[in-house]
Structure 1
Amino acid sequence: MNANVLVLEDDVLLGETLQDFLECCGYQAHVFDTGAKALEASYRTRFDVYLLDINLSDMSGLECLRLLREGGDTTPAMFITSAKDTPTLLKGYAVGADDYVKKPFELEELQCRIDALLLRSGFSRNPLFINETFCLDMRHKRLLKERKEVDLNPKDIELLTLLVQHRGKVVTKEMIIEHLWSASKEPSEGALRVYVNNLKKIFGKEAITNVRGLGYRFEA
């Protein structure tokens, strides 16, 4: 199942760019140029993420999200804005935003932020794109490099999935042990180091940081 994304953006060119990019990444993207159209669509369709511009012709993105939240809508929301002043950003969080990205932005950054919102909301994306080259086929538990399967054992895939889902954050050894070994099996520090090294061979030594005494962090 692919994530259903509502995009509220009145810049036609940017709206088309976002739609093309999101659909290329495997999302279902629906672009609207006014708050009224976006609100109407939200009543008819269940969306998994809202991407909202702030400055619009009929109402601000802030007002749009405020109305959604007052109606009980808890869909993760991110503002796409050129505003750089702290008060505007604080207003965004005050009306219920979960994140924001400032214009101009890299499309890959936007994708990572969307994936993070989906992860926190419990949505399971398939495939889960790691970068422009690699993606995880969550359904069949395999890693693809430019659509070709990479030879990894199941434990490598399980560890990679856990690290990618917490990209940029420390995944503790306790979390890894709980994820990779059942209660009836004895965890192995040596085996864990092998799995980590297997992933480093694919993504590079700098992709996975060993945080001494805590665990590992994926930064590819």
Structure 2
Amino acid sequence: MSYKILILEDNTLLLQTLEDFLSGNGYECTLVKSGKEALKQCYEHKFDLYLLDVKVPDMNGFDFLKELRAAGDRTPAIFVTSLNDQESLAKGFILGGDDYIKKPFDLEEVLLRIKALLARAKGIVDDWLSIDEAYKLNLARKRLFCNKEELDINLKDFELLYLLVKERGNVVTKEMIHERLWSSSEEINEGSIRVYINNLKKIFGKEVIVNIRGIGYRFEK
């Protein structure tokens, strides 16, 4: 299974160059040109590493990572930027960046740093939470597996499932779900919770996730 990398870069030529090079080395790349577009992708999909330019439209790379870290996302992140002053370097690490590459750079250096960071992350890649004999959650990579086969669920589905499984047998209130699934700057959508619950019921069955009317849900598998 190839690693999935989100690349945030507003220079079209550089973005395409990085994709061509990294795809050729076995990585699956998702390309975005603005911070808000990157944020949308991260809330809908799961990635193993972020490769982030800082100076991008809508929301710069620093603010983008700050938003994700506040939401509990610990995906490894590398900043790739022309900024080279010590204050900017320090800010990147304080906000949760794991590495820094200064432009201009050598593509082989990017590859080596990606490999090194993913290798360090392997220490938590096998952090599993079993649901039953068939289903398991990979907590580090935020993936759901059934008998070693990865199932396609989005990040919100995963976070909700993790919360339900962790509190198995107990009622998970709507307030607990809001706190787990949405950051302080995100707009909470009550209808979305029902969508995520229905997505999980399609996998585990309607009887497994019990609706406690007006309060929340209980996972009974």
Please report the TM-score for the alignment, with normalisation by the length of structure 1. 0.55
Give the match for residue 10 of structure 2.
Answer: 10
CA distance in 2, matches of 1:102, 1:121: 22
Size of the aligned set, in residue pairs, is 125
What does 1:114-193 align with in structure 2 at a 5 Å threshold?
Answer: 114-122=114-122
Give the match for residue 52 of structure 1.
Answer: 52
Q: Which consecutive residues of structure 2, in runs of 5 or more, have no partner in the other structure? A: 125-221
Per-residue deviation, 1:57: 1.5
CA distance in 1, matches of 2:113, 2:10: 21
Amino acid at match of 1:62: F
Amino acid at match of 2:77: A
Amino acid at match of 1:108: E
RMSD: 1.6
Give the match for residue 103 of structure 1.
Answer: 103
Give the match for residue 188 of structure 1.
Answer: none
What does 1:53-92 align with in structure 2 at a 5 Å threshold?
Answer: 53-92=53-92
Deviations 1:46-86 (A, max 9, x none): 10000000001211100000000000000000000001100
CA distance in 1, matches of 2:31, 2:100: 18
Rg larger in structure: 1
CA distance in 1, matches of 2:116, 2:29: 17
Give the match for residue 164 of structure 2.
Answer: none
Deviations 1:102-141 (A, max 9, x none): 00000000000000111111189xxxxxxxxxxxxxxxxx
Amino acid at match of 2:54: I
SS of structure 1 residue aligned to 2:122: coil
Amino acid at match of 2:91: K
Distance 1:43 1:29, change over 3 A: same
Distance 1:123 1:15, change over 3 A: farther
SS of structure 2 residue aligned to 1:55: coil
Please report the TM-score for the alignment, with normalisation by the length of structure 2. 0.55
Amino acid at match of 1:40: K
Identity of aligned residues (%): 48
CA distance in 1, matches of 2:76, 2:16: 22
Per-residue deviation, 1:94: 0.6
CA distance in 1, matches of 2:98, 2:40: 21
Amino acid at match of 2:51: L
Give the match for residue 37 of structure 1.
Answer: 37
Distance 1:110 1:46, change over 3 A: same
Amino acid at match of 2:90: L
CA distance in 2, matches of 1:84, 1:34: 21
SS of structure 1 residue aligned to 2:79: strand
Runs of 4+ in 1 over 4 A off after TM superposition: none
CA distance in 1, matches of 2:72, 2:93: 16
Give the match for residue 28 of structure 1.
Answer: 28
Distance 1:66 1:29, change over 3 A: same
Distance 1:86 1:34, change over 3 A: same
